[in-house]
């Protein structure tokens, strides 16, 4: 039987339905999870990523890109806001909206990406919540220790909920 630590009793429900959690013990663990998620994704997937500075959003995005078959080096888009990678199984749109206002984000025409044939991953997505499409997978990285993270998923839409179950995430 698995040892139940205190943090397994954290309440991650945001009030929008079921949330799921997956516990990462290391950076490599997070990478494996992100790669598995990438293999489930289809055109028009939107991943809304949140978590404190240094929680692992970019690390997650890099592994996710690699799971999509992207070979280019994926670096943090903090200053470029949007980076596009076309060499994977699906186009990959990597965004980081930390440095821009909601008004500036609105002018970027993000819906073109969200509704396109690629996969969009937005770091700091909660900052542009009103601009996100109704169907999306929210993922929050919670720092639980020096090398451990809780990956908390809140699916909006049944297709995303199915992925969470397929990934072996636990409902919370
Ligand atoms: N289990 C883990 N999963 C992911 N990253 C981890 C884990 N344990 C340690 N780390 C470390 O946490 C750091 C995460 O950095 P990263 O740039 O991905 O964070 P970020 O959330 O994108 O930050 P920012 O908000 O500044 O963009 C890396 O140095 C990584 O090695
Ligand atoms: Mg980052």
128-156 per-position pLDDT tens digit: 999 999 999 999 999 999 999 999 999 99
Give yes or no for residue 2 having a pLDDT over 50.
no
Q: What is the pTM of this model?
A: 0.92
Give the E-state strand segments of 70-146 in sequence order: 82-85, 92-96, 119-123, 136-143
Ligand 1 pocket residue status of 59, Cβ below 6 Å: yes
pLDDT tens, residue by residue, 82-112:
999 999 999 999 999 999 999 999 999 999 9
Asked if 156 and 13 touch (Cβ cutoff 8 Å), the reply is: no
Q: How far apart are the C-alpha atoms of 35 and 15, rounded to whole Å?
A: 28
Q: Which domains does the chain have, with CATH numbers?
A: 23-171 (3.40.50.300)
Atom of ligand 1 nearest to the CA of 149: 1
Q: Please tell me the predicted confidence (pLDDT) of residue 10.
A: 65
62 Cβ below 6 A of ligand 1: no
Q: Answer yes or no: are the C-beta atoms of 143 and 52 closer than 8 Å.
A: yes
Q: Is the CB of 91 under 6 A from ligand 1?
A: no
Q: Which of 59, 96, 149, 152 to mutate to test the pocket of ligand 1 (most atoms within 8 A of CB)?
A: 59
pLDDT at 15 (0 to 100): 52
What CA–CA distances, in Å, run from 90 to 42, 44, 141? 8, 10, 24
The tokens describing 151, both together, are: 């990956």
């Amino acid at each position: 039987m698995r040892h139940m630590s205190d943090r397994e009793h954290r309440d991650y429900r945001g009030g929008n339905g079921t949330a799921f959690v997956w516990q990462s013990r290391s950076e490599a663990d997070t990478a494996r999870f992100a790669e598995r998620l990438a293999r489930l994704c289809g055109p028009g997937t939107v991943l809304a990523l949140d978590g404190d500075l240094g929680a692992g959003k970019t690390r997650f995005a890099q592994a996710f890109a690699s799971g999509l078959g992207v070979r280019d080096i994926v670096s943090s888009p903090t200053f470029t806001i949007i980076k596009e990678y076309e060499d994977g199984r699906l186009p990959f749109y990597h965004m980081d909206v930390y440095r821009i206002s909601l008004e500036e984000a609105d002018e970027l025409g993000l819906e073109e990406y969200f509704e396109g044939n690629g996969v969009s991953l937005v770091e700091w997505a909660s900052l542009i919540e009103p601009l996100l499409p109704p169907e999306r997978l929210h993922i929050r990285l919670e720092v639980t220790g020096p090398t451990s993270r809780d990956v908390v998923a809140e699916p909006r839409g049944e297709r995303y909920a199915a992925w969470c179950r397929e990934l072996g995430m636990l409902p919370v």
